[in-house]
Amino acid sequence: MLEFPRWKYIVILLVVLLSVLYALPNIYPQDPSVQITANRGAATGAELDAKIGAALASAGVTAKSVDTEDAEGGRMVRLLDLDDQTRAADALRPALGEDYVVALNLASTVPDWLSWFGAKPMLLGLDLQGGVHFVLQVDQKAALDKRLDAYADEVRAILRDNRIRYESVERNATGTMVARLVDAADADRAMSLLAAAQPNLLREAVGSRITVRVPEAELNQISLDAIDQNITTLRNRVDEVGVGEPVITRQGNDRVVVQLSGVQDTAEAKRMIGATATLEYRAVVDGDPYDAVASGNVPPDARIYYERRTGIDGKPIPVLLSKRVIASGEQMVAAQSTYDENGMPAVSVTLNNIGGQRMFDFTSVSVGKPMAVVYIERVPQVTTNAAGEEVRSFRVSEEVISVANINGVFGKQFQTTGLEKAEADSLARLLRSGSLAAPMDFIEERIVGPSLGKENVERGTTAVLYAFVFTLIFFGVYYRMFGLFTCMALLLNLLMVVAIMSVFGATMSLPGFAGLALSIGMSVDANVLINERIREELRAGMPPRAAIANGYDKASGTIFDSNMTALLAGIALFAFGTGPLKGFAVTMVIGILTSVFTAVTVSRGIATLVYGGKRKLKTLAI
């Protein structure tokens, strides 16, 4: 008998309604916009609005609107077309200066009621929507200096922990460290300790002077490792921003290319990619910091830092901190933005085993003593030399955000306070994604405009539309009424694919269009199997309703088997492919799953609705 449970009709109706709801945002165009994000301390109120208005007026650009972007006071300047967007960005960058990040963007026009349901348009790839193309220069000298400083600190720690007195430990840029001992009789013991702790380094002792040198091969490996670690960190940071299918590759010996497609917040992406903010935990050294600043007599094991807060005179408060770092951002394995017991913003930190042990060892002997948290940020800046050329450089900002007594022993897990809410959120993301082995400078930034993408979208949409129309005509002529059922199922299949990709934030690219067209073809193949099976049952003399039921029942197994092999191929492409292959695989896998549902369930439900019931049925239009 030709029957179809009512609950399946309810399921199909819910699927149709949800597909329409979550596919609907894709019909709303995006506004060409310029996004303005203020750096910490920059004005964000009426003063910023006045600067924006003056810059736009000088460029002769009329903004569609200027919206407040976030709680930090950023602005989204919506414009009428792409030409106005380019002119506005060119005018705003010099007018606002280094205190603001100005980036091109595409602002959503999806109504708020759709956003309330979590409906959003699917992301488009760089070949469809455009995006940003960055080339970053890795500062390999900074990477070497950082590793050499770590080696020198380790030499000091080994000598100190084993009670070997030394006058100084100095290092130069060539990878050589010189330790001058107080007693030459300790040289042999120091050499054996250093050999056990640093077997890859070269050592030489002459009297009380020990020379430790980093081999040339090790220096080269440090440079290569720095780029590899930076690429890994960049991938983690881009994942934190939520960019679909990023392209991050090495270029030459010291450059990295980053292409971000389908981004919704280019300013945040740029800020996260180039950020080098981190934390360091240091012990507070006894002494008068004000006297040290005034006289210049700083204890040999200390450095002068300044607190973020200011004193009565309005100047930052100095503090003497140990040169030895207890733990740093490199040793953090987890970080979460949270609030402390007083309701103030904080970052909950989890260290790795090495950092946790060092923190435990320090706090075990320092209960009641102060420890400081240093917030380090590398801020890019652009200056002009005597020849009028722009010179890119960085300013390193080091601030003590917290000085507090250690109330008890702790190790791997603790909280860091003294941050603003936005800083806590940003720092937690950076610490989660890992620290850069070496600073990077944006030496090239190109905006890939969506003009080519618009043409590609139109061509891809046209190709899918023509495929659907040709299928409709063919099936309507060849299978008549059942051809109409097939086309209705195909339409729902297309709608479901768009809705699912929108819900999960998948990125549609040109290879994705190819995968979508392939999935439509496979859905057609499934319906052909069903229709031909029904014809065979009719030729065998079976009644029309029984022929429909048997046709669907017998064809379903074949459809599942044939689609399962294609599904496994799509999963393999997604698991082992990169870039365009992943885009193709995503749409193909989603299309296969939806096509099985529409061919086996939806078209059968429609057929039952039309041909079911108690009325006598003599023939079928197939």
- Confidence category of residue 119, pLDDT binned at 50, 70, 90: confident
Is the pLDDT at 88 greater than 60? The verdict is yes
How far is 184 from 588, CA to CA, in rounded Å?
73
Where are the domain boundaries for CATH 3.30.1240.20 in the chain? Answer: 141-219
pLDDT: which is higher, 428 or 64: 64
Task: Give the CA angle between residues 567, 569, 570 to the nearest 5°.
Answer: 65
* Contact (Cβ atoms closer than 8 angstroms) between residue 35 and residue 69: yes
If one counts every other C-beta atom within 10 angstroms of the C-beta of residue 402, the result is 20
Pick the CATH number of 6-25+451-611 from 3.40.50.300, 1.20.1640.10, 1.10.110.30, 4.10.520.10: 1.20.1640.10
Q: How many Å separate Cα 578 from the centre of its chain?
A: 16
Where are the domain boundaries for CATH 1.20.1640.10 in the chain? Answer: 6-25+451-611
pLDDT score recorded for residue 351: 81
Question: What tokens appear for 383 in the block?
Answer: 């200056």
Q: Which of 304, 305, 273, 277 is CA-nearest to residue 375?
A: 277
Task: Give the CA angle between residues 164, 166, 170 to the nearest 5°.
Answer: 130
For domain 141-219, the CATH architecture is 2-Layer Sandwich (3.30)
- Confidence category of residue 320, pLDDT binned at 50, 70, 90: very high
pLDDT score recorded for residue 12: 92
Over residues 156-214, the pLDDT tens digits come to 888 888 888 888 888 877 778 888 888 888 888 888 888 888 888 888 888 888 998 88
Question: What are the strands of the beta sheet with 413-417, ordered from one edge?
Answer: 332-339, 345-351, 413-417
Over residues 131-158, the pLDDT tens digits come to 777 888 888 787 788 778 878 888 888 8
* Contact (Cβ atoms closer than 8 angstroms) between residue 418 and residue 308: yes
pLDDT score recorded for residue 375: 80
Is the pLDDT at 71 greater than 60? The verdict is no
Q: Which of 15, 9, 13 is CA-nearest to residue 495?
A: 15
Its pTM stands at 0.57
Strand (E) or helix (H) holding 128: none
In eight-state DSSP terms, residue 343 is: S
SS3 44: coil
Q: How many Å separate Cα 362 from the centre of its chain?
A: 35
Fold classified for 278-433:
Gyrase A; domain 2 (3.30.1360)
Where are the domain boundaries for CATH 3.30.1360.200 in the chain? Answer: 278-433
If one counts every other C-beta atom within 10 angstroms of the C-beta of residue 387, the result is 6
Bridge partners of 178?
Answer: 170, 211
Q: What is the CB-side half-sphere exposure of residue 415 using CA atoms within 13 A?
A: 15
Out of 57-61, 407-411, 428-432, 475-479, least confident range: 428-432
For domain 31-107, the CATH architecture is 2-Layer Sandwich (3.30)
- Confidence category of residue 268, pLDDT binned at 50, 70, 90: low
* Contact (Cβ atoms closer than 8 angstroms) between residue 516 and residue 596: no
Q: How many Å separate Cα 615 from the centre of its chain?
A: 60
225: amino acid identity, one letter: D
Over residues 505-552, the pLDDT tens digits come to 777 777 877 787 777 777 788 888 888 898 888 888 888 888 888 888
Q: Taking the C-alpha atoms of 359, 365, 370 and 374 in order, what is their torsion angle to the nearest 10 degrees?
A: -20
Question: What tokens appear for 468 in the block?
Answer: 């659907």
User: Please, what is the angle between helix 46-59 and helix 82-96, to 10°?
Assistant: 120
How far is 234 from 240, CA to CA, in rounded Å?
10
Average pLDDT over the chain, rounded to an integer: 80
Q: Taking the C-alpha atoms of 554, 560, 566 and 567 in order, what is their torsion angle to the nearest 10 degrees?
A: 170
- CB environment 216-246: b (16+ within 10 A), e (fewer): eeeeeebbeebbebbbebbeebbebbebbbb
pLDDT score recorded for residue 524: 80
How far is 397 from 417, CA to CA, in rounded Å?
18
Over residues 404-413, the pLDDT tens digits come to 788 788 888 8
Out of 71-80, 194-203, 577-586, least confident range: 577-586
User: Please, what is the angle between helix 481-503 and helix 6-23, to 10°?
Assistant: 50
Is the pLDDT at 19 greater than 90? The verdict is yes
pLDDT score recorded for residue 264: 47
* Contact (Cβ atoms closer than 8 angstroms) between residue 36 and residue 48: yes
- Confidence category of residue 456, pLDDT binned at 50, 70, 90: low
- Confidence category of residue 336, pLDDT binned at 50, 70, 90: confident
